[in-house]
Every structure is written in C-alpha cells, then in structure tokens.
Structure 1
C-alpha cells in the first residue's frame, strides 16, 4: 500500500520562494524512543546553528523517520527565513506529524544561490538532530526548486546520511548548465533587441540592468518583429508557451498565445534572475561562471521545443530567421572565468551516481526551471547505470512547482512504497497516481489531478560530470 504525502501550491512571485510538503506513511515503523519525544504532543525546537536558523518538530508518535526540507531561492536582499521552514506549509506539516514523521529544515546561513552554505547547514542540522533527538532509522531529503538541486546535491555529497530523495521542480541540470542556458537566452535578447547594450555578465548594477531589460522587453512586445525575437530568445532557454496554471495549455499551433506566455515568464520571473540575481551568483563565485563560446545558435534552435513557434512568428513578422541567427553567431562571445566555473561546478555538478531511490517531479509548463532539467538528470544517472533507482513524474500544468497537495501526497507515498518494497513496479503510472490523488478528497484537490505521460525534450546546455574536463 502506497504512502501518503502532502504538497502545496507554490506562489509564483519574483522572490520565487518555493514550498512543498508531504504526509507520513501508513506502514510507518513502530514508535521510536527519543529524547525529543514528549507525550503531550509535538515537540518543536527552534534555534540557530552557525548563523542558520533551524526548525525541528518531533511528534509524540515518532516513527523513526526524519524528513529534511530544503527551501527554495530567496533573494539576497531579503532576511533569512525565520522560523526556518521544515515543511512547505502548516497544513502539510500537520499531516506529516500526525503520521509520525519528524520534520527539520534550515534557513541556510545565507540567501541567494547559497548551495555551499545549504549543504553545510543541512548536514549540521542532521548532526544536531542526532545529538539532540537520536539517530533516525530513515532520513528522506526533499525540497522545491533551489531546494530540489540542494536535495539532489545532499544525497550526492552525503549518500550515507539519506535513504531516499524527492526533488521537486528541481534545478537538476546543475548550476553551470542552468546559468549557461539562461545566458544564451539573454544573449539573443541583447543582440537582437537591445543592440548589445545590456550587461550580461560581470553585472555591477543589477537593479539598473534589470530595469533596462524590462523596458526593452515591454517595447519589443508591442511589435510583430519584437515578438518574433522574444520567441527566439525564449526558445534558446526552452521557455514554455504556457504561464497561468489556471488556464488551459495553448494549442500546439497557437503561436501567438505561446509567445504571449513566454513574454509573461520573462517579464514576471526569468529576467529577475538573468539580469538581477546573476550579480549575486557572480559575487559568490568570484566572477562569471557562464560562457557561450563555441555555441551554434542555429543548432540550438533546431533542438529547442519551441522551434516551430519561432519559425512561424518570424514568417508572420516578415523577418529573416536565417539572418538573425547569423547575427547571433557573429556577435562577440562571452568567456567564463575559470575560478568561477570551478566554484559553481563544485556547488554542484551532478555525477549520476545514485545510492538510493530518487523520485523527481515537475510540471510540464515550468518556465523558470524548465522541465528539460529532468532529461539532463536522467541522462547522467543513466550513464552511471543507476536508472533503476530513478523515477520521474510529470504534472500537466503551467507554473513553477504548482503541484496540488494531493498530487504531492501521491508522489510521496510512491517513494515510501519503493523504500518499503524495494520495487517501483507500476507505482508511477499516471492513471494510478491520479486515482490516489483523487482519494484525498476535494480539500487536497483544488484542481483535478493532472499526472501525465510525458517525455521532455533535451536540455539545451547540458553540463554534468561527463562534461567537466578541469
């Protein structure tokens, strides 16, 4: 019998602080002795470890399993999360605790692209839990978005501390691939629409760079030629043509609607990272970790999921796509700073070596962390011969991490079943998972469950351990 878990609707804001949650197992182990267990109810601990806030919650009926939560991106200009989230939301936490799961989570000691700090702070929190509450019989890592890459990084760096992982909407292409692909999109936007005036790397005034890019984007959206070029820039990052999770996906030939949605992704979400958050990344990396030397943009477009849309909009606008691609190929390229590449590769490049069951989850219409991240991760896992440990599931919906509680419950119970039985069997069949989600009732299903058979196209700028020649 599959176990149950609770997820959360994630608000899509520029802050993009991401949440997730899940419930406990119906087949949980018997109550475990712990100095943190109190008979009167849940014992909640708050504190600080080396500058990172933490939260620990241990229920009276603790089943011995600890669920370690890694939260998503928080802009460096914001304060550290306090209290630190130990689940995606209070409703989810309550269900988990009722099922006997202990929860823990760190704010990390820094915001921004703080993977280095997150790995250290989450490991320190696990040690603190061991000393304070006792060593768990099982530990499950989970998180959303930046918390997804942190989750996958934790099990790669500390495989002996975890038994399973559930990265959701995670940046599973790794930092270098993700930021390289973002650079390609920004580069095309700058060359074709901004006249090579935008600072793409070594950004010293991110607020001004972001404002300048947003102004140019808004102007370009008012003309057919501008919209065609926006679609090309979007295609080089595989930005989907679907933005609103409450609306149906545009038809496969509705290129006008698709481009409008790509514009919304860029203006409301993506440009904040490409032109603002990149400065924070460069500051912590010691330079620019991204490059486009040697990239053939005609070949990149041919591989993009959006290439038909781009061709159609260029034709409608009376523009020569061939000439614009030549302009991109002729434009001066951007070289990376080796020390920054080394830093971002360390935090983190995936090697595909799995030692435990991993279930990943993604919406098909995610324009911030595109669904092709899952293809990149599956590829490197397959190269290590560990594909049997990995399953990937997809929800047919727009938005970043916009899973319903019931959908995430179904995913978590699937992972628990794999832990308990040692087999996946047909547990990730979309029809079965949708049935399981429906069974949680309307309170957990604000919209119908939407698991779907889906195969992502290729991630356009892959970088994993096979590509790291340093």
Structure 2
C-alpha cells in the first residue's frame, strides 16, 4: 500500500512524539527499570512524627523507583513531590520533599509520595506519567486519598503545570517552586543568551562545536568585558557588555532588584548549556531542539542594532514545538483548574523569573487568574528558598485548597511594580537575610 505524502508526514510526526521506550516497556516487567537504566534508592529511614515512627514504602513501579511515607495518624491527604532535572545519566533516584517539607507534611498528617520517573534527561512526559502512576499505586497500597496536592521544583514545575492540564480534576492544589512554567520559552532564552553574546562580541559560533566553552566563550567574554566581572566587584563591562547585560535582564523578567549583581553571578553558566548538535539525541537529551529566536525582539537595541544583526535560528524540531500532545518538552496552556501558589527567585538566571510572567499571562488569557498566586523571593541561586519561605507557601496553599481565602501574592506582570526597590520583600525571609545566607546580600536590605 502506498502512503500519500501527508500521511507519511503525519506518521513521522506521531512517531517523533511517541513515548520513548514504549516498545521496550512492553517487554520489561514493571518492577524493573527500562533497558540501560539502573536504580539507586537506598532505604529511607522513617522519621519520628509526634513520638511515633512513620511508615515507609519503597520499590519500583512502571519502571520508576518510588518512595511513599505515611504518618502514624494519616489525615487522608496525599502530597506528590515532583523533582527537578536529574541530568542525562542512567541511574534513577528518588528525592524526598525538600526545604523541611518532609517533616512538616508528616507532622500535619499528610502522606507523601515521590517518583524517580522512568526516564532521566529533560523528560516532562516521564514526570507527568510517573507521578500519576505513584499516586495510583498509593491508592492501592495505602488508601485512596481524599485530596492530592502536587509540589516540586525546577523541571518539576513544568511537570506540575502540565499535570494540571493533562489530568484535570485529579489534583486539588499545586506548589511549583522555581518552576519552568514558561515551558518551551526557557529554551528560547538560553538560545538568546548565546546568540546575543556572540553577536555583540563579534565572535560567532552557532551551531556550537566541542571547542565552544574552552576556546570561543573566553573570547566572547573578553570582548564584552565579562571575564573579571564578579558580584560586588567593579563593573568591568564595556558598552557592548552593558547592552548584553541589559538585554539579558529584559529577557529574564525586566528591571528588578538584584538583577545586575545576579547577572555577574550567572554570567558564565548559560554558555555551558549550548550543546553541539547531535542528530541522534532525543528531545529529552537535547530540549534545545524546540528553541528559536526567529521572531524575538531584543531591548535595548542600541548602541548595536542587535535585531538587525543577530543570527536567527529556526526551530529544529517544529512538530514538538507546535504539538499540544504530552511530549518530553510539552506546552503549558495556562489552564489550571485548582489553586496554584508559586515561588521564584528574582535573580535566578537558570530558570528565570520571566517563567512566572509567561505563565501569569497565559493564565490571564484563559480567565483563570483567580487560581494563581505568585511570590517573588529575593535570591539569585536556582531554587534558593528558606524552610520558612517554602513552609509559609505550603501552609497558605493548603488553607486555600481546603476552601479558605485566596492568599496574598506579588504582581509579576506589571513592570513598574517589579522594578520597585522593595519588590520581593513581602515574602522573603528576613531571618535568612539577617544571617547573610546564600545570595541574600546581593539584594539591598528591605525597608
């Protein structure tokens, strides 16, 4: 039988978006990882909950390792923890809730469950499906919960945003922290960083080669005056370096407290995320396949007309970029059906604050802003929150999800509000600033 060209194209698109390992999974028992993977999930010691030990269950389910922990007096509610990017290795690991939340949840009577996911890399589909799988396993092994709340970090935020839309009505609340809620636009930004730096420095190399980091990037940084730039040190940037910094600040959330010292802190890292092209890489192994700057307008556009001179790159994997299906790097449409409370560091330039702004606009476009509360935290490292910040967000979310009033948050999409000197002070931990922990002192003291 001969296939028409359109049918051939459709078949290729469907094949490209089919779940990785589907055929292999049919031949592997569910209590084993997929071929090529091993599991490292050492015994998780129970913790004391009001003087009694918790109950811990561990194992492998649908090719993913899992941990489940139940307090002695379970309140009938379950928390799902969605971990962040675990690299490209082939060892699957499980992460308990962070920021003191493990103990906090158990003390409040909540059980929790977490999955390694069946795949590593940037595989959001694996996270969405494996998290749902461990929730269903919990229902069979422990009991069907009367409430499910999903929380997590970084790529886990992408998993959370898509999980709410993939399984509407399944979860009752969500707490994404430092999350990739702007989905594919994260990879646009990482592409921007490298292409704009190349353009302004006059040192071009895209696609990048194996010598990019060792030979090309040092020349780029030298040409822009970035080589010796350090947080709190002298401003070594030249005019083109200043324009580059301003463009990066604009693309990551706009003028805001801590943006300039945060740039100095992060200046090298986004270069490390530009990878040589590999035609055999999966989307999870190279999520940059969905990135593009073809229609991006950069500001400020002087002294160099970057919009006229920057290299424009088309989407390498257009089917994945356009598809609404659950792929390894799927889209989030901004349609939460339950309360969502998010935290994000203002100076994070790995998963930048702009992710929150993109999600807020998507949610507003779908007339669901009443279900979203966002909080800015005055930190610069990725996922740098204190136990107090995460704990307060959790407590506020569960009251809201349980029928309480919508909690307070920060406006993220009004530039004049974000640019205020005291922006982010309302929900940032004053004790952490007083102690000088992490990057807190890159920001001026709050009034």
TM-score (norm 2): 0.71
Retained in 2: the 8 A contact 1:140–1:164?
yes
**Counterpart in the other structure of 1:417:** 399
Counterpart for residue 381 of structure 1: 363
* Contact 2:196/2:306, CA 8 A, preserved across alignment: no
Picking from 88, 105, 110, the partner of 1:76 is: 88
Which residue does 1:33 correspond to in 2?
none
2:95 is the alignment partner of 1:85: yes
1:122 deviation in Å? 0.8
1:406·1:445 contact (CA, 8 Å) conserved in 2?
A: no
Corresponding residue number in structure 1 for 2:321: 341
Residue 110 (structure 1) aligned to one of 81, 104, 119: 119
Aligned pairs (5 A) from 1:26-65: 41-65=53-77
Q: How far has the Cα of 1:278 moved from its partner?
A: 9.6
**How much is the aligned-residue C-alpha RMSD, in angstroms?**
3.6
CA distance in 2, matches of 1:446, 1:107: 34
Per-residue deviation, residues 414-448 of structure 1 (Å, max 9, x unmatched): 111212334216588988857xx67xxx7999569
Higher helix fraction: Structure 1 or Structure 2? Answer: 1
Q: Does structure 2 retain, via aligned residues, the 8 Å contact 1:167–1:359?
A: yes
1:403 pairs with 2:385: yes
Contact 2:262–2:349 (Cα < 8 Å) also in 1: no
List runs of 5+ in structure 1 lacking aligned partners.
Answer: 1-36, 243-247, 251-257, 312-320, 451-470
How far apart, in 2, do the equivalents of 1:239 and 1:266 lie? 16
Distance 1:353 1:336 in 2: 27
Partners in 2 of 1:345 and 1:292 — Cα distance?
A: 23
More divergent stretch after superposition (230-239 vs 41-50): 230-239
Q: Which residue of 2 aligns with 1:4?
A: none
| 1:326 Cα deviation after fit | 3.1
2:71 and 2:325 map into 1 onto residues whose CA distance is 39
- Map 1:179-328 onto structure 2 (within 5 A): 179-193=187-201, 195-199=203-207, 208-220=211-223, 221-222=226-227, 224=238, 227-228=241-242, 230-231=244-245, 234-235=248-249, 237-238=251-252, 249=258, 258=260, 261-267=262-268, 269-275=269-275, 282=283, 288-295=289-296, 297=297, 300-302=298-300, 321-328=303-310
Tell me the distance in 2 between the aligned counterparts of 1:416 and 1:157.
Answer: 22
Alpha-carbon spacing, 1:427–1:78, altered in 2? closer, same or farther (3 Å): same
DSSP 3-state at the match of 1:63? coil
Cα 1:160–1:213 change in 2 (3 A) is farther
Q: Secondary structure at the match of 1:391?
A: strand
Unpaired runs of at least 5, structure 2: 1-48, 228-236, 412-423, 441-447
Measure, in 2, the Cα distance between the counterparts of 1:345 and 1:186: 29
Distance apart, 1:171 and its partner CA: 0.9
Pick the aligned partner of 1:174 from 180, 183, 189. Answer: 183
The aligned counterpart of 2:144 is 135
Q: Distance in 2 between matches of 1:217 and 1:345?
A: 38
Query: Does the 8 Å CA contact 1:152/1:172 hold for their aligned counterparts?
Result: yes
Query: Deviations along 1:24-49, whole A, 9 cap, x unmatched?
Result: xxxxxxxxxxxxx9x95211111112
- Contact 1:240–1:366, Cα closer than 8 Å, also in 2: no
Contact 1:112 1:281 in 2 (8 A): no
Cα distance between partner residues in 2 of 1:345 and 1:230: 36
Please give the TM-score of this superposition, normalised by the length of structure 1. Answer: 0.68
Distance in 1 separating the partners of 2:284 and 2:398: 40
